[in-house]
Structure 1
């Protein structure tokens, strides 16, 4: 079964079997995970988390699903990574689906390409579980999602204000949510937010944004990128948003290197194509091999899943994107 984000939110409490969440919208992923975790706590469902670093890690997942603790009657296993099961592990997945009706296997993956979505793993989940694409491709969808965020804050936006917010953040839902929080804090007595409130609040408080950081990274301006990063940290910008921004540029550059003729199809704006092409000429493609692991390390550090310093790792990513080296690439 395929569900979108809003449909999935309504079914969290009844989730059993196997669910997969995939996409590159950190706001949608975090909101759904928060909803799942709150639901498990409310229902006294034991939660375990596993991170996939190799195919063999799937064996640990199924061992967990098949062995409840003495104090639990239900189990939710949360799995993060981009490694699909191999043939033998797929058999275990089929067996789990057929015989384990009370537990939940929740798999969280980054955005998948069309070939991946046609794989036997996704076909099995489409037929026997729940497949949630964390996307919001249309303005109506984004406004509906952000409308729920505004409702949580007790504010409403006028029609023109929605359009301004959409254009200001270039469809970045997490950045838009942060702006809603900022305008709500700045004008606590106003429920109906208009363009002038957004403009005054965001222009006054955002001397630099993650978009300025991206521009500095793509042009290889390390000094400016460091300055903007330090400003963002001092102004309380969410580390998850900074990671999302850096991750987006790294993935676009890697994709463009593999598909140099498909810049527009990859989502690069027409007036930015030459900037990305120049960045590729400046960078050493061999460095791309280290980027996915570095992004995973940053994510783990932000979530407190490792002892590494997330700021140090983000600085490493910034220097990598600028074509320089700041820290050694191996784990501390």
Structure 2
């Protein structure tokens, strides 16, 4: 079964079997994970998390699903990564789906290409479980999602305010949600938000977003990229979201280098294709080889798993994307 984000929100608390969440919208992923984790806590379901770095890691996942601890009657396993099970893992997945009705295998993947969505792995889960694409491709989809966010805050926006918010943030749902929270904090006595309130509290404060960082990175403008990065950090933007921006641009550039004719299929906006092509002409493809390791180092530093300074590493990543080097080796 395939569900969209809003349908999945309503069903997450009762989820069993196998679910796949895939996409590149951090707000949608985080909201769904929050609902899942809250429901597991309320139902006293044991939660385990696994990060897949090789095909062999799937053995550990399926072993865990088949061996409940003495204190658990149900288990929810969260799997993060972008490596799918091999033929043997697929066999174990099918067995799990046929015989295990009380546990949940929740698989969180980045955005997938069309061939991946047609793979036996996806088809097996879609036929016997649930697949949720974390996308909001059209303005009406984004407004529906943000309307739910506004309702959580107890506010409504009039037509002009919606138009301004959507235009101001283009397709950045997370930034738009932050703006809704900010306008609610700034005008706590207003249940109906009009364009004047939005404009008054956002024109100065939302000076830069991660999308401005993306634009500066694609232009190769190191000084502007570092300036925006420092602004984002100073205004409380999580390091993990800045890393997500860096990772997304690196991944898209590497994919476009391999598939130069498939820009739109890779999820690059039509108006941005020329920017990505220009960035590729500026960069040396040999650099791409070091990018995955660099992103892992930044992620480890953010999570406190290394002694390195995440901000220094992020700035190195920014410099790499701009085709520059901050430090000599």
Distance in 2 (CA, whole Å) between partners of 1:328 and 1:251 is 24
TM-superposed deviation, 1:232: 1.2
Q: What RMSD, in angstroms, separates the aligned Cα atoms of the two structures?
A: 2.1
Aligned to 2:21: 21
Q: Kindly tell me: are residues 299 and 3 of structure 1, through their superposed partners in 2, closer, same or farther at Cα, counting changes over 3 Å?
A: farther
Distance, in Å, in 2 between the alignment partners of 1:56 and 1:36 is 26
Give the C-alpha shift of residue 45 in structure 1. 0.3
Q: Quick check: 2:175–2:209 contact (8 Å CA) kept in 1? A: no
1:224 Cα deviation (Å)?
2.1
Q: Deviations over 1:159-217 (max 9, x none)?
A: 12112111111111111111111111222222211122222222111333323322321
Structure 2: 5+ residue runs without aligned partners? none
SS of residue paired to 2:136: coil
Shift of 1:82: 0.5
Deviation (angstroms), 1:58: 0.1
Q: Which residue of 2 aligns with 1:37?
A: 37
Q: Where does residue 79 of structure 1 map in the other structure? A: 79
In structure 2, the residue matched to 1:175 is: 175
Q: Is the 8 A contact 2:113 2:265 kept in 1?
A: no
2:305 aligned partner: 306
**CA distance in 1 between partners of 2:134 and 2:88 (Å):** 28
Question: 1:244 maps to which residue?
Answer: 244
CA deviation map 1:113-150 (0-9, x unaligned)? 11001111011111111111111122222111111111
Counterpart in the other structure of 1:232:
232
Whole-angstrom distance in 2 between the partners of 1:99 and 1:266: 36
8 A Cα contact 1:78 1:107, kept in partner = yes
| 1:264 Cα offset (Å) | 4.7
Residue 321 of structure 1: aligned partner: 321
Shifted more, 71-80 versus 188-197: the winner is 188-197
TM-score by length of 2: 0.92
After superposition, residues 186-225 of structure 1 pair within 5 angstroms as 186-225=186-225
What is the deviation of 1:85? 0.4
After TM superposition, list the pairs within 5 Å mapping 1:71-220 onto structure 2.
Answer: 71-220=71-220
Structure 1 residue runs of 5 or longer lacking an equivalent are none
Q: Whole-Å Cα distance in 2 between the matches of residues 206 and 113 of structure 1?
A: 33
Distance 1:142 1:281, change over 3 A: same
**3-state SS, counterpart of residue 203 of structure 2:** helix
SS at 2:204 equivalent? helix
User: What CA deviation, in whole Å up to 9, does each residue of 1:284-322 have, x standing for no partner?
Assistant: 1122233344445545554x3734543233223211111
- How many Å separate the matches in 2 of 1:180 and 1:305? 31
Q: How far did 1:18 drift?
A: 0.7
1:25, 1:135 within 8 Å by CA — same for their partners in 2? yes
Instruction: Give 1:328 deviation, angstroms.
Output: 9.4
Per-residue displacement from partner, 1:71-92 (whole Å, max 9, x unpaired)?
1111101000000100011111
Give me the TM-score of the superposition, normalised by structure 1.
0.91
Separation in structure 2 between the aligned mates of residue 59 and residue 267 of structure 1, nearest angstrom? 32
Structure 1 distance, partners of 2:33, 2:173, is 16
User: Is the 1:8–1:132 Cα contact (8 Å) retained in structure 2?
Assistant: yes
Q: Which residue in 1 is equivalent to 2:48?
A: 48
Stretch moving more, 287-296 or 19-28 = 287-296
> Partners of 1:299 and 1:151 in 2: how far apart?
33
